[in-house]
Amino acid sequence: MSDTVKKHFFSLFLEIIFPLLLLAALLIIGTINVNFYRTYIAGELGFLENLQFTVIGLAFVFALINGVKYFNQVDLQKRIFLLLLILGSLYVAGEEISWGQHYFQWDTSGIFADINDQNETNLHNTAGGWLDQKPRALLQLGIIIGGILFPILYWTGKKREIYTDSWFAFYMPPRSLFVIAVIAETVRFFDKFLKDFGWFPRVRGAEIQEFYYYLFILLYILYLPRKIKKQSEKQH
């Protein structure tokens, strides 16, 4: 098997096969044994939470590598973007485990005891949702537009120039992340509207959605070096 074939298969596995298999496994387990699912899959420090932290933690690592390696090869606007990816993924990874509290079990004290809704050492559970719901809404909007809408327009022969000729082409998510984006946006819909009819397992769709958001971010970051190299080749 050639290196090219291996790379294509690996990409296919990460972008389509793995996301679909994982979703099927989660829904099947949630249907067969919801108590097991809630305890060992979606529970505190369960499989899903650890997987979420691993994926967004890797996103931070690769965002940092991209920043260090390519910072001097891009313009100011893209440097700011690389920094935002580093800081954003670090923030999400830290918040996901309450900056270590979930693993080391320290008591919540000081200002966090006063402002945190769940008595945890994090910022996303504070009142108002400005450090949780608002950023999540922006991410959701970005994934819907960049991960679903524009790929559909591209495949129907419209707006193709946004991937090549627009100033925004560098920031566009790869069209190959379409399946992950669709899963991320539909699983919460099915959870919210079909659960009461018994057509969806008694699992928290928001937790599953969160994982697919993180997977989308990780793969987006992994594709950036390819875009940077293409841009550099065009300039030379």
Q: In sequence order, what are the beta bridge partners of 126? A: 116
Q: Give the model confidence (pLDDT) of 63-100 as tens digits.
A: 999 999 999 999 999 999 999 999 999 999 999 998 88
The reported pLDDT for the residue numbered 195 is 64
State yes or no: pLDDT of 179 exceeds 90: yes
Inform me whether the pLDDT recorded for 233 exceeds 80.
no
pLDDT value for 200: 62
Q: How many angstroms from the chain centroid is the CA of residue 122?
A: 19
- What is each CA distance from 152 to 69, 194, 208, 218, in whole angstroms? 33, 26, 24, 22
Are the C-beta atoms of 57 and 93 separated by less than 8 Å? yes
Task: Spell out the domain ranges in the chain.
Answer: 3-96+132-235
Q: Which two tokens stand for residue 219?
A: 């793969």
Higher per-residue pLDDT: 68 or 192: 68
Return mean pLDDT, the chain.
89
For residue 192, pLDDT beyond 80: no
Q: Does the pLDDT of residue 16 top 90, yes or no? A: yes
The pLDDT assigned to 69 comes to 97
- Structure confidence by residue, pLDDT tens digits, 99-142: 888 888 888 877 877 778 787 888 887 766 677 788 889 999 99
Task: Tell me, letter by letter, the H, E, C secondary structure of 38-106.
Answer: HHHHCCCCCHHHHHHHHHHHHHHHHHHHHHHHHHHHCCHHHHHHHHHHHHHHHHHHHHHCHHHHHHHCC
Residue 197 banded pLDDT, cuts 50, 70, 90: low
pLDDT at 205: 85
As a three-state string, the secondary structure of 190-227 is: HHHHHHHHCCCCCCCHHHHHHHHHHHHHHHHHHHHHHH
Query: How do residues 141-175 score in pLDDT, each as one tens digit?
Result: 999 999 999 999 999 998 888 898 888 899 999 99
